Amino acid sequence: MHKIESLTILSSAACNLSCKYCYITQDEKTAAAQKKLIDKIKNEEFLSGAISQATPADIRSIGLWGLEPMLTLDVFSDRLDYVCKTLPNLETIHMSSNFQGDIEVFINLIKNVPKDKKLDLDLQVSIDGMPQINDLTRGNGSCEKIVNNVKKLISRLNETLPEYPNVKLNMHDKATFSAKIIEMYDEDRELLFKNYRFMEEFYVEMISAIKSHSQISFNGSGGTPEKPFDYSKKHGIAFLNILKNLDELIKTEKFKYVRLPLISRIKRIFTFGREFNNKQFMFTCSANRGSISIGQDDNFTFCHRDFFNDNTSINRFTNDHYIIHKDQNMAKRAYVTSCYSDFPRLKISQFITMCKELAYCGLIDESYADYDKAYTYAMLSMADQCPSDQLRRYGSPYISDTGSMILYGNGAMDYLIRRIHD
């Protein structure tokens, strides 16, 4: 049987089985689908379909992910004892939240962890910065709600976690650079400085509020650019200016927690680059083995994002090109989607060719016409590609997103590489 390391469950299409991670998500557009999933989790052994195609002892990770897992977290928490018994080697539950709901759902999850179960909880907080920046995309008043809720949660965790020494909680933020935000930062350097002073103060306050007896860690992510997006050369030059200005601020004001975007991903490539061709899944997103839905609908996807979009390209890629149908087993499906991570040389060759074309056209720096430099850029960019987005846009998971190439290829990538070697 093909080894499955984790599960995926999504409310918009009920349950989804993945070879890498498991996600339970909330799709507000399909209330009926969510109700059906909630009823399923409440009233059935809802993992039975998933574990029929996997070895339960192999599954080590579950994620509660998607539009907003807080809305279904209580229902899942009530079944946590069943989940832990069904998946005896479960080690991690991870999720991403907009943090605008009731934070008690997280406390309820901790209280439902069996006393004899050692479990890590990874919690991603979606916040882009101060209200002027964050509320552009996350709604008016959202920044204040998020900050207050994180404070409340840390206070409650300080009270609760000492009673659950078997539970460890890791928190980090997730900031997104939209094209609009990139333009705003480039036009107003002081706005950039003001926002990251806000973020540093936020990190300092949160970390200082954590009591030493609580098993909590809190880290800043540095942020990632929005994708896919048709960035122009102007955006690429602006992003380089942002990196330089932010780097200056970090050094001048001796920030402890704010860091440059993408820096950790680039360090990972240079630290573990020798593994790139034989363990490429180490450098990609969680879609590196693909997934299959179980429950209300049967769908075949690369990741949880495919449930909220048109699947025409995904279905054509899997069914027409590889003749994979829903009645075939998980091992065959996993083979198809593993092409995303198992054939890096194919992707690198395609990326290098695109680099040369973009360089010749003047859309990225002309130095990327050089094979060795394009190869390095390809390795770095492979860790930042989304196969689901590439399928939707280009009909293939191998074709790189030209928008991201242009964004990073006008000095930003060179600057980040120099910074990690300084």
CA-nearest of 354, 362, 134 to 234 is 362
pTM: 0.84
81: left (phi over 0), alpha (psi -120 to 50) or beta: alpha
Whether the per-residue pLDDT at 281 is higher than 70: the answer is: no
DSSP string for residues in 104-149: HHHHHHHHTS-TT--EEEEEEEE--SSHHHHHHHH-TTHHHHHHHH
pLDDT at residue 321 in the model: 52
* Residue 390, token pair as written in the block: 């590439």
SS3 284: coil
137 vs 312 pLDDT, higher one: 137
How far is 415 from 400, CA to CA, in rounded Å?
21
205 vs 278 pLDDT, higher one: 205
Maximum average pLDDT range among 138-142, 331-335, 343-347? 138-142
pLDDT at residue 377 in the model: 87
Whether the per-residue pLDDT at 286 is higher than 60: the answer is: no
pLDDT tens column, 28-79: 445 666 677 678 788 878 877 667 766 788 778 877 765 577 877 888 899 9
CA-nearest of 134, 143, 220 to 174 is 220
Share of the chain above pLDDT 70, in %: 74
Residues 93/96/97/102 CA torsion (nearest 10 deg): 0
How far is 153 from 173, CA to CA, in rounded Å?
14
Mean pLDDT of 378-402: 76
How far is 407 from 415, CA to CA, in rounded Å?
13
Which residues are CB-contacts of 103 (< 8 A; sequence separation ≥ 6)? 149, 152, 153, 156
Residues β-bridged to residue 168: 120
pLDDT band (50, 70, 90) for residue 241: very high
265 vs 343 pLDDT, higher one: 265
Choice among 159-163, 311-315, 352-356 with the minimum mean pLDDT: 311-315
83 vs 69 pLDDT, higher one: 83
Q: How far is residue 109 from each of residues 1, 72, 121, 175, measured CA to CA in Å?
A: 32, 11, 10, 25
Exposure pattern of 119-144 as b/e (b: 16+ CB <10 Å)?
A: bebbbbbbbbbbbebbbbebeeebbe
187 vs 349 pLDDT, higher one: 187
How far is 110 from 165, CA to CA, in rounded Å?
11
CA-nearest of 21, 29, 20 to 64 is 21
How far is 238 from 232, CA to CA, in rounded Å?
10
pLDDT at residue 290 in the model: 44
Instruction: Say whether the peptide bond before residue 228 is cis (omega within 30 degrees of 0).
Output: yes
pLDDT at residue 320 in the model: 53
Query: Tokens 């395609």 label which residue?
Result: 350
DSSP string for residues in 223-281: -EE-SS----HHHHHHHHHHHHHHHHHHHHTT-SS---TTHHHHHHHHHHGGGTTT-GG
Whether the per-residue pLDDT at 402 is higher than 80: the answer is: yes
Burial class (CB in 10 A: 0-12, 13-18, 19+), 310: exposed
Query: Tokens 């996997």 label which residue?
Result: 54
Q: What is the CA radius of gyration of the chain?
A: 22
How far is 145 from 57, CA to CA, in rounded Å?
39
Burial class (CB in 10 A: 0-12, 13-18, 19+), 334: buried
Which residues are CB-contacts of 327 (< 8 A; sequence separation ≥ 6)? none
393 vs 17 pLDDT, higher one: 393
Q: How far is residue 230 from each of residues 184, 227, 355, 403, measured CA to CA in Å?
A: 17, 8, 16, 5
Whether the per-residue pLDDT at 420 is higher than 60: the answer is: yes
Mean pLDDT of 256-280: 83
CA-nearest of 404, 117, 115, 74 to 261 is 404
Q: How far is residue 401 from each of residues 154, 226, 405, measured CA to CA in Å?
A: 38, 12, 7
Choice among 2-16, 34-48, 81-95, 145-159 with the minimum mean pLDDT: 2-16
Starting at the earlier edge strand, list the strands of the sheet with 8-10: 24-25, 8-10, 15-18, 291-294, 300-301
